[in-house]
Structure 1
């Protein structure tokens, strides 16, 4: 009689003490979040709004940086002028390559290489 009142243990019948408890997840921390790539992280940061000194309203960080670069270039800073010219050239090239994803990817990779970033070829294109 005592054998039948006890819960059977065996194949597909784990012991009571090691079964999942009702209402408690088997994975309480959940799935780990996907790590962001550098491009999406950079875009996220540059879209963040800031209020520059003396400005009435907020603007994206990217706009504030471009405005500051323009101020420096207008004040005669040669490095700021060169950087502004490079940015304008890249923006014009990016607009031309906007409709060709392979060309766009290649230009991004080339720009990263110019900045000194080690780019690993994923085998999926011209990189």
Structure 2
């Protein structure tokens, strides 16, 4: 098989054998313009898109909302419908933006608390543990705070039950 550089008249043009003048030239790409480069997505572009108003239909009327608000409303609607993932996501979003705060470690109540229900109502014990942490004993000032908080939050029915039981810690001065 002869090369076309030897004798161009002997070179047969055909499938896979293009004419010499249409072949790639040495040192020159076949795709001169090349593939277009992707534009980098900048944070400012994303924020601009998320803050750009979109026309939506709310009931019978049209109004403009930003995509962030639309997403938050959809997430809240899903959470109210019972979607646990949506609930956790929206709660995390609220915490990130300072709408909700998580309780400090000292205020978190562990899974099991021990309350002497002979001397105080269980709900009063929960208030003590949630405010002052898990302890074996509480000071008189701490018990006074819990008593006042409990007395202001209990129902009339609970007040009748408490008076029938006669918890010592609910009396002014309380048990020590």
Task: Calculate the TM-score normalised by the size of structure 2.
Answer: 0.30
- If you compute each CA radius of gyration, which structure gives the higher value, 1 or 2? 2
Higher fraction of helix: 1
